[in-house]
Amino acid sequence: MSINVYLVFNGNCREAVQFYSDVFETEQPQFMTFGSSPSDPSYPLPEEAKDLIMHTRININGSTVMFSDTFPGMPFTAGNNFSLSYTTDNLDELQSLFDKLKAGGQVRMELQETFWSKSYGSLTDKFGIEWQFNYDNAEMGN
């Protein structure tokens, strides 16, 4: 389906996305915060994470650009705060590409079901590029 840019911010994602939305005159973005995600008692959400942006996106001249804040405690380096996000409605294709790109790289999260996708995973390839893989069958509002 598509490859999109995913930009990560250090606590100021909402401000940045509003700015880009105003500059490019896009529709108002919908913000999903870490606090709005389903809770897991095994992994309590730190108070400082609740209002941070877990995910949002805007369409800039036909291209989807996605955004989030860094989760508290995770490393953040300006200039390295992006990934490529591959989205498809073909599970076999998703698995095949994930397996090929993980060769020589480092898996951050194996492909697995999440509350937003039937199959999501992430990895850093052998060249240091971060990838996110997302199954989108239009049922879960991706």
Which pLDDT tens digits describe the chain residue by residue (142 residues)? 678 899 999 999 999 999 899 988 999 999 999 999 888 888 889 999 999 999 999 998 788 999 999 999 888 887 778 888 888 899 999 999 999 989 999 999 999 999 989 999 999 988 787 899 999 876 544 4
d(CA 17, CA 8): 11
Q: Which fold has domain 84-135?
A: 3.30.720
Architecture of domain 5-69: Roll (3.10)
pTM: 0.71
Q: CATH 3.10.180.10: which residues of the chain? A: 5-69
Helix%, strand%, coil% for the chain, nearest 5: 20, 35, 45
Q: CATH 3.30.720.110: which residues of the chain? A: 84-135
